[in-house]
Amino acid sequence: MCRSIKKLRQPDRLPTERELEEAVLQFVRKVTGYRKPSRANEQTFHAAVNEITAVTRHLFENLTTR
């Protein structure tokens, strides 16, 4: 696990949109090896960030916690 990606699950609140986007961006950077994608890969890179953010938001909205 990338150490710079912080845990987003909090007992009292959902992560903010900014927290989600920052964590997802770090994840995509880590798995692709790109700090900033080339022009040829930019659209795909940002599409992945958007898709993973949406899936992660869905995950948090549907988790059952105690």
4-59 residue pLDDT tens: 667 788 878 889 999 999 999 999 999 999 999 999 999 999 999 999 999 999 99
To the nearest 10°, report the CA torsion of 17, 19, 25, 28: -100
Prediction pTM value: 0.83
